[in-house]
Structure 1
C-alpha cells in the first residue's frame, strides 16, 4: 500500500500564532512530501484558537474555540503551541490518557510537569515529543535522547535565548549600556513588549531544566535551576571582559558534578558569564542559539542555528510530527522518559565556579595583601591579579580558581567591608577556561 492510500494520521492543532500558522501552512503545502516521509497522509483535522473570527486566512471548517472538544474528537496527535501551564497541562494530560500522542513546544510546562506528562504517556502507550521546546530549529533534544543515549554526558552549556544574546552582542560591539540596548532590541522586534521572561532568565532556566533532565537521566525542574538575568550587566562589565580577551554571554550550564567521595549530582544554572573570545560560544552573536555538549566517548559537540521564529520552530514541530506519524504507521513508540539515574540536584552554593572580581581600592601599600587574606580565609585560590593605578585609587581585577560558589560569594562580601576597598565594581562568573 502506498503512503497516500494508508489511513491518515489526523492532527489537532492547538494555537495558531506565529509558529502555529507556519505549521498549518506547511501541513497543507507539503502534504505530499510529509505523507511520503511518514508513510501515511498527515491530515489537519482541526485548529483550536481563542477567537476563530480573527483567522480569515484559515478554512473556517477547521476552526474551533473548544480545544477540549477537539482533543476528544477523532484525532491521533495533538500539537500544542499555546504555551503556559493551564489549561494546556489539562488538555495534554487528557490527550495522553486517551492514547493520543502529543507534540509540544511548551518549555514552561515541560520544565514544571514533564514527569507527570511522561507518566501519562507511558500509561497509555502514547508518544510525547518536544524538540521545539529548546533552541527552535536546532536538532538538539533528539540527539540527547537518542543519539547519545549510549554515552555519558558530562556537560551541556549553551546560549538558548536569542533576545539576551542579541542584547549582549550589541553591547559588546557598540559599547552601549544595557537599558538603551534593550530599548533598541524592542524597537527592532528582538525583544517582547514585556521582556521579563527573557532578560530575567526564566526562558533559559526552563530550557536548562529540560536539557539537564535529558542529559543526566534525572528529573530536574525549573525550581532546581539557579537563575540570574542580564539586568545587572553594565557597559563596564563588557569593557572589563574585552580587556581580558573575553566576552559576556548568558549561558545555561548543566553539569554532572562528582564530589570527593565519588558521589555524583547535577548542577543546573543560568547566569551571565565571561568566556574567552576563543571559545566556540563566544562567536555566536545576534539572536542565534548554540549549545556545546561534552560526552565521554563522543567528546565535544556543537549545535548551532536559529533558536526561535515561526519557520525554524515549525520545522522542529513538523520533525516531531513526522516521527509520531511513523510510529503510529509502524505500530511503534518513540523514546520514553529516562530518569533512571535519579541524580540529586546540587545547590548553587555548593557548585564549583570561578569569579572575575573588579575592585576600586585605595592606592597604598598592603591593600593587595588584605584582599588576598580575605580569599585565603575562605579557602579560595587566586588565579590571576591585574592592577592599574589611577590618581589616589587603584583598579584591582582578581580572577579565582574553581571554588564553591558560596565561598566565593562570602569572600566578595568580606572584601566589600574592607576599609581599603572603595567599591566592588563588578562580579561575574568565568567559564570556558582551564
Structure 2
C-alpha cells in the first residue's frame, strides 16, 4: 500500500531497484530526470528507497551512497518497499528475491527473460496468491511492445502464430554477411568489437536468448505453460557465406527466427504448440526480410486481427529501460489506486508438439556425382519418404555437381529420414546444408 507524503496528499510508492548495470543505470537516470512526469502519470510519487548492487566498493556516480546495499533480499523485505524492479539477470539468485517480493505482496517489474522463461508459472502463481502484479514487457525485445498486446489487446482474439527476429546480435551478423558477403567468423569478431556480442557469445549465436523469449511469447499467445526446455533451439554458427549466396539465389535472406505456432491435427482436430528457434530462409517479399542490423521484429498472426508486426530496438540500456518504466507506471498506478493487471492465463494448457511433427519447407544443398541418372535417384529418394520437391537447381562444381533442392511442406521427421537416405546414396558425395524456409 502506497504511503501518503507527509508534506502533501500525494501518495508515495517506495521502489527497490535491483541491479545497476546498463539497464539499471538508465532506469535510475530516467526516473530522476522525468520525476514530475511520472508523478502525473501515476497520480503518486515514485521514490527509489534502495538500490541493490553486487559490489559496494565500485564507484556509482550520481547515486546517493545511502541508497546502496549488497543485501537485495533484505531490501525487498523492507516495509517501505512497495514495488521491486529486477534487472540483475540470471535465474537462481533473482528467483529467490523475486519470489520473496511477490510472496510479500509487492509488485515486481523484471527485464529478466531467462528467469521468466524458466519460472513463469511459479512466479505468476505467487503473484496471484498475494494479489501482486508481475510485469515483464522488457523481457522480450526490450522497447518493442509485444507482451502487453498479447496479454491485453489480443486477449479477445485467437493467436495462431508468432514469428520474429528476437536477437539483435545474430541479426547484425546475418545482415552483414548478406550485405557484405563476409564470413560468420569475421562478422562475429566485428559484433564483439562493437559491443553487440559478449566475450562468450553462446547465448546469442546458439539461439538460447531467442529461445527464452520464444518460450515467453508462446505461453502468452497460446494461454499455455511453455518453458525454455520446450523450445527446439539451433543457432547460426554453421551458416556460411555459401548459404547466404544460395539464399540470395532463391530470392531469400537468412534470419534467426523464433517461431511459436498453433498446430492442428488434420484428423482429430486436436491442437498443440510448436516453439522453435533456428536459422531460416525468409523470402525477400516478407516484412521480416527487411529487418536490418541489430533491430528486432515480431510478426503476429491472429484469427480476427490478421497480420500484425512490431518493430524496433530489441536491446540496449535506454530501450530496455523504456519498457521497464512502462511497466513501472502500470504497476505503480495499481499500488496507488488499487486493482491489478491481467495475470498469466494458462487455461488452454495445450501440449507441446513433437518436433518431428512440425511442417515447413526446406532448402537442401548437396554435392553429387556429375553423371546421367543422378537427379532421378535423388528425386526418387525424396519421393520415397513423402517429401515433394518444388524446384531443383543444378550447378557445375569442381567436385562433381551441386544440387539445390527446395521442397514443398513436409514434416521434420520425413526430411530427416530423407537426408539420412541421401547420404547413403553412392551418387551423393555430401549434403552441404539443410536450412528451413519460413514465411511463405
The two structures have a TM-score, normalised by structure 2, of 0.96
Aligned counterpart, 1:353: 360
Q: Unpaired segments of 5 or more residues in structure 1?
A: none
* 2:301 equivalent to 1:294: yes
- Residue 349 of structure 1: CA displacement? 1.1
Distance in 2 (CA, whole Å) between partners of 1:151 and 1:145 is 11
- Candidates 45, 49, 60, aligned match of 1:56: 60
What SS class does the counterpart of residue 303 from structure 1 fall into? strand
Matched-pair contact (CA < 8 Å) for 2:163–2:299? yes
Q: Unpaired segments of 5 or more residues in structure 2?
A: none
Distance in 1 (CA, whole Å) between partners of 2:383 and 2:60 is 68
Q: Mark the CA change 1:22 to 1:4 in structure 2 (over 3 Å): closer, same or farther.
A: farther
Aligned counterpart, 2:411: 404
Output one character per residue of 1:170-207: Cα deviation in whole Å (capped at 9) or x when no partner.
Answer: 10011111111101111111111111100000000000
- Residue 322 of structure 1: CA displacement? 0.2
Q: Mark the CA change 1:393 to 1:30 in structure 2 (over 3 Å): closer, same or farther.
A: same
Aligned counterpart, 2:238: 232
Distance in 2 (CA, whole Å) between partners of 1:390 and 1:114 is 51
- Residue 392 of structure 1: CA displacement? 7.0
Distance in 2 (CA, whole Å) between partners of 1:361 and 1:13 is 60
Distance in 1 (CA, whole Å) between partners of 2:115 and 2:8 is 35
Alignment of 1:276-287 (within 5 A): 276-287=283-294
Which structure 1 residue ranges, 4+ long, deviate > 6 Å from structure 2? 1-4
Aligned counterpart, 1:328: 335
* 2:74 equivalent to 1:69: yes
Q: Mark the CA change 1:4 to 1:80 in structure 2 (over 3 Å): closer, same or farther.
A: farther
What SS class does the counterpart of residue 75 from structure 1 fall into? coil
Distance in 2 (CA, whole Å) between partners of 1:117 and 1:314 is 21
Aligned counterpart, 1:47: 51
Distance in 2 (CA, whole Å) between partners of 1:34 and 1:149 is 28
Matched-pair contact (CA < 8 Å) for 1:15–1:48? yes
Aligned counterpart, 1:268: 275
Matched-pair contact (CA < 8 Å) for 1:4–1:35? no
- Residue 390 of structure 1: CA displacement? 4.0
Aligned counterpart, 1:119: 125
Aligned counterpart, 2:113: 107
Distance in 2 (CA, whole Å) between partners of 1:303 and 1:390 is 42
Output one character per residue of 1:13-36: Cα deviation in whole Å (capped at 9) or x when no partner.
Answer: 000100000001111111110010
Q: Mark the CA change 1:133 to 1:391 in structure 2 (over 3 Å): closer, same or farther.
A: closer
Matched-pair contact (CA < 8 Å) for 1:357–1:398? yes
Distance in 2 (CA, whole Å) between partners of 1:326 and 1:98 is 18
Q: Mark the CA change 1:188 to 1:4 in structure 2 (over 3 Å): closer, same or farther.
A: farther
* 2:439 equivalent to 1:432: yes
Matched-pair contact (CA < 8 Å) for 1:217–1:341? yes
Q: Mark the CA change 1:161 to 1:4 in structure 2 (over 3 Å): closer, same or farther.
A: farther
* 2:171 equivalent to 1:165: yes
Output one character per residue of 1:311-344: Cα deviation in whole Å (capped at 9) or x when no partner.
Answer: 0000000000000011112210011110000000
- Candidates 14, 17, 27, aligned match of 1:13: 17
* Aligned residue-pair number: 433
Output one character per residue of 1:75-95: Cα deviation in whole Å (capped at 9) or x when no partner.
Answer: 001110001112110111110
Q: Greater CA deviation, 313-322 or 55-64?
A: 55-64
User: Superposition RMSD on alpha carbons, in Å?
Assistant: 1.4
- Residue 4 of structure 1: CA displacement? 6.8
